[in-house]
């Protein structure tokens, strides 16, 4: 039995299916609900549009498809996004095979699947899930198109264009792929540039066509998504103004934080393989598999072409202000593929790879399950002070909101007012069977998020009253508008403490409003 070896065509899909089952088990037994952003995306998926206040539409559509297939439960919301992360690993495997080095593709796929990024973000519904999948498909499609001829080449360019358009509709970060394309165009043989330029133009044209509905939606709504993206990346508000005025030390610290964050996302498996391959860089490499014709680029330079432009942009952003660690996340695809190529050329054994891949998976599991270890072993747990618990912000909402449901159900037809985005989307998800009419209250009228923009609460339009949900009593401005307001119920679960109020005005003014409406 020890001599039996599975071929990659069977081993890779089997390993990814087993990893998916393991991750589904982790989510199912985490005891946590949805993150605020996940709940927001789910809420948006109830009414599909070509864009949203802060995000392009593809992830929301993916969630809608996922819930149509698997229901609105926790796993139903997350399922297809989790699959997308593992499909990105599968695409790396096929890219390695297309390059004539399937083993390097297998190693790259294993390193990505074992990375901390995949082990943590791969459990969540974020725009990075779809972006990673379509970014990897752009890498595969462009390589195959550039090395094919005739109709086959054009078919691959069409696939590349579709993947590029869907990548941008996932997250605007995909715009950095234009820099990768320019780099590859410059680095290819001069006599091949015309053919490559024509293919890239076709792919770009197809991507532009896919983006047209989203651009028309933005134009019709005053460019909210593009403006939000500019605000957090270019303009950045007060936080970035403070960062820009900070000294050199602050900027260097921000850049170091960004760089260390990328190493953390790569995880122990990728770091170990990269370190060992670099250490053996002076040893003679195995000869690559012979190809029918020479490649336009070396496999390593191709992998790095999809890595360094995004890392450079992330570093520049970190020097301007504090950069989010996941802004350059797709660069991991190029890093893992390059590391796989180096590891194979350096003849690093499969046993060594297996040890470090298991170490990476174990680290991710320890981080995700650490908050549950005390509960499983029967040790006392302080709900308000969760230690080593990445799910802490997602705990308590289900219990606290469902405790309020009996008091709220008779009032489901009244408008519900909330002044906190997190509470609004968690209420929408946890009490979805009631289908409440949710409104956002902003005392100064400032548009802070999607719900201030699309669902603002205007007291003049609701003189008969409303329901208020919050972590405390209603704001003074609402109490002044509705002086007969009263507390309906309180609930508490861990760090989540909620109150439900019935907002009511003077009986005389209410009857007067009713006569007027007649």
DSSP H helices in 188-330: 193-220, 224-230, 237-245, 248-279, 299-305, 308-320
Residue 236 has pLDDT above 60, yes or no: no
- Across 235-249, 383-397, 448-462, the highest mean pLDDT is recorded for 448-462
pLDDT for 22 equals 95
Q: Tell me the C-alpha distance between 116 and 205, whole Å.
A: 35
pLDDT for 167 equals 98
Q: Tell me the C-alpha distance between 41 and 44, whole Å.
A: 5
Give the strand order in the sheet containing 437-440.
437-440, 415-418, 466-470, 496-503, 486-493
More confident call, 276 vs 207: 207
Lowest mean pLDDT among 41-55, 246-260, 407-421, 486-500: 246-260
Q: What is the DSSP letter of 489?
A: E
Q: How confident is the model at residue 2 (pLDDT cuts 50, 70, 90)?
A: very low
Q: For 300-323, write each residue's pLDDT tens digit.
A: 999 999 999 999 999 888 887 667
pLDDT for 369 equals 83
pLDDT, mean of residues 327-337: 95
Residue 489 has pLDDT above 90, yes or no: yes
pLDDT for 152 equals 96
pLDDT for 345 equals 87
Q: For 149-178, write each residue's pLDDT tens digit.
A: 999 999 999 999 999 999 999 999 999 999
pLDDT for 319 equals 83
Q: Which of 340, 310, 301, 306 is nearest to 328 (CA)?
A: 310
Q: Tell me the C-alpha distance between 257 and 262, whole Å.
A: 9
- Determine contact, residues 21/75, Cβ cutoff 8 Å: no
Q: How confident is the model at residue 234 (pLDDT cuts 50, 70, 90)?
A: low
Lowest mean pLDDT among 68-72, 91-95, 252-256, 373-377: 373-377
pLDDT for 282 equals 65
Residue 511 has pLDDT above 50, yes or no: no
pLDDT for 211 equals 97
Q: Tell me the C-alpha distance between 263 and 266, whole Å.
A: 5
Q: How confident is the model at residue 36 (pLDDT cuts 50, 70, 90)?
A: very high
Q: How confident is the model at residue 30 (pLDDT cuts 50, 70, 90)?
A: confident
50-81: string of b/e by CB count within 10 Å (b at 16+)?
bbbbbbbbbbbbbbbebbeeeebebebbbbbb
Residue 487: helix, strand or coil by DSSP? strand
Q: Tell me the C-alpha distance between 326 and 167, whole Å.
A: 16
Q: Tell me the C-alpha distance between 348 and 206, whole Å.
A: 41
pLDDT for 376 equals 53
Q: How confident is the model at residue 66 (pLDDT cuts 50, 70, 90)?
A: very high
- Determine contact, residues 232/310, Cβ cutoff 8 Å: no
pLDDT for 384 equals 47
N-terminal to C-terminal alpha carbon distance within the chain: 84
Beta bridge partners of 501: 468, 487
- Determine contact, residues 77/63, Cβ cutoff 8 Å: yes
Q: How confident is the model at residue 249 (pLDDT cuts 50, 70, 90)?
A: confident
pLDDT for 324 equals 80
Residue 292 has pLDDT above 60, yes or no: no
Q: Tell me the C-alpha distance between 252 and 315, whole Å.
A: 10
Residue 245 has pLDDT above 70, yes or no: no
Residue 517 has pLDDT above 60, yes or no: no
Tell me the pairing of strands 415-418 and 437-440.
parallel
- Determine contact, residues 310/335, Cβ cutoff 8 Å: no
pLDDT, mean of residues 45-72: 96
Residue 161: helix, strand or coil by DSSP? helix
Residue 501: helix, strand or coil by DSSP? strand
Mean pLDDT of the chain: 88
pLDDT for 3 equals 45
Residue 203: helix, strand or coil by DSSP? helix
Q: How confident is the model at residue 246 (pLDDT cuts 50, 70, 90)?
A: low
pTM above threshold 0.75: yes
Q: For 365-387, write each residue's pLDDT tens digit.
A: 888 887 655 555 555 555 444 45
Taking 3-state DSSP, the helix, strand and coil percentages for the chain, each rounded to the nearest 5, stand at 65, 5, 25
Q: How confident is the model at residue 1 (pLDDT cuts 50, 70, 90)?
A: very low
Q: How confident is the model at residue 507 (pLDDT cuts 50, 70, 90)?
A: low
DSSP-assigned letters across all residues of 411-453: GTTSEEEES-HHHHHHHHHHTGGG--EEEE--TT----SHHHH
More confident call, 427 vs 239: 427
Q: For 434-469, write each residue's pLDDT tens digit.
A: 999 999 999 888 888 889 899 999 998 988 899 999
């Amino acid at each position: 039995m020890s001599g039996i070896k599975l071929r990659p065509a069977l081993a890779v899909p089997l390993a990814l299916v087993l990893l998916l089952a393991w991750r589904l088990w982790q989510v199912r037994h985490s005891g946590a609900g949805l993150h605020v952003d996940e709940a927001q995306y789910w809420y948006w998926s109830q009414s599909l549009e070509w864009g949203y206040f802060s995000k392009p539409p593809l992830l929301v559509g993916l969630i809608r498809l996922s819930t149509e297939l698997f229901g609105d439960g926790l796993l139903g919301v997350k399922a297809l996004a989790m699959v997308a992360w593992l499909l990105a690993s599968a695409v790396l495997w096929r890219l390695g095979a297309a390059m004539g080095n399937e083993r390097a593709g297998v190693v790259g796929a294993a390193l990505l699947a074992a990375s901390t990024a995949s082990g943590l973000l791969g459990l969540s519904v974020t725009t990075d899930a779809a972006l990673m999948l379509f970014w990897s498909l752009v890498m595969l499609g462009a390589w195959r198109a550039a090395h094919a001829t005739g109709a086959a080449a054009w078919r691959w360019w069409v696939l590349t264009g579709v993947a590029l358009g869907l990548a941008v509709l996932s997250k605007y970060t995909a715009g950095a792929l234009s820099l990768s394309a320019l780099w590859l165009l410059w680095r290819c043989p001069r006599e091949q540039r015309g053919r490559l330029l024509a293919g890239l133009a076709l792919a770009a044209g197809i991507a532009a066509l896919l983006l047209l509905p989203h651009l028309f939606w933005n134009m019709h709504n005053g460019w909210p998504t593009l403006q939000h993206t500019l605000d957090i990346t270019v303009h950045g508000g007060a936080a970035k103004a403070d960062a820009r005025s900070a000294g050199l030390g602050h900027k260097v610290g921000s850049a170091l934080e960004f760089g260390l964050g990328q190493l953390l996302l790569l995880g122990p498996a990728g770091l170990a393989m990269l370190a060992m391959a670099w250490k053996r860089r002076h040893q003679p490499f195995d000869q690559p598999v012979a190809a029918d014709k020479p490649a336009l680029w070396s496999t390593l330079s191709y992998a790095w072409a999809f890595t360094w432009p995004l890392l450079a942009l992330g570093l520049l952003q970190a020097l301007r202000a504090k950069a989010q660690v996941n802004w350059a996340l797709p660069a991991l695809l190029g890093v893992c593929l390059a590391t796989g190529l180096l590891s194979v050329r350096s003849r690093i054994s499969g046993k060594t790879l297996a040890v470090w891949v298991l170490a990476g998976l174990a680290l991710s599991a320890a981080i995700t399950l650490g908050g549950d270890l005390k509960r499983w072993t029967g040790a006392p747990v302080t709900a308000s002070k969760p230690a080593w618990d990445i799910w802490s912000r997602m705990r308590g909402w289900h219990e606290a909101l469902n405790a309020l449901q009996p008091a709220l159900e008779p009032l489901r037809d009244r408008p519900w007012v909330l002044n906190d985005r997190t509470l609004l989307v968690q209420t929408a998800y946890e009490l979805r069977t009631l289908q409440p009419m949710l409104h956002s209250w902003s005392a100064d009228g400032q548009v802070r998020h999607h719900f201030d923009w699309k669902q603002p609460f205007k007291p003049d339009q609701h003189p008969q009253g409303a329901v208020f949900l919050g972590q405390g009593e209603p704001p003074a401005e609402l109490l002044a508008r509705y002086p007969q307001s009263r507390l309906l119920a309180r609930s508490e679960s861990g760090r989540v403490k909620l109150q439900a109020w019935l907002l009511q005005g003077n009986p005389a003014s209410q009857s007067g409003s009713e006569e007027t409406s007649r």
